[in-house]
Amino acid sequence: MDYLCMLITKPPHSDEGAERMCGISNAARDRGMGVAVYLIGDGVLCAKRHQHGHVGAHIKRALERSMSVYASAQDLRARGIAETQVEKGIVITEDIEGRFLKDAMERASRVISW
């Protein structure tokens, strides 16, 4: 199976980047690809629960469609986001860089960063 790793480093409100990533990941999943989304830096703002708009809806849909979504524990703490504020189903990890590199090198047929 083809596998896509997506690295999101931009906040959901900064530009169209997060929305484009949502569209790309859904299109990949529609084509039968496995998808893992990594939220690093300001990208962890996409992990917040109860978001309105396209990004919040996408995170819920991604989890419902068995996409793996990971958020950096360190970046969440740096932005004052408690684990209780993160959408249920998102995996919070201390070693997100190591996890991303392993996933990208061993499993991914495509890697996209935004």
Domain 3-113, what fold?
Hypothetical Protein Ychn; Chain: A, (3.40.1260)
Give me the pLDDT at residue 19, please: 67
pTM across the whole model: 0.89
- Say what the alpha-carbon torsion angle 44, 6, 103, 86 is, to the nearest 10 degrees: 30
| pLDDT exceeds 70 at position 16 | no
Give me the pLDDT at residue 15, please: 59
CA Rg value for the chain:
13
| pLDDT exceeds 90 at position 20 | no
User: Distance between CA atoms of 105 and 83, rounded to whole angstroms?
Assistant: 28
Domain ranges of the chain: 3-113
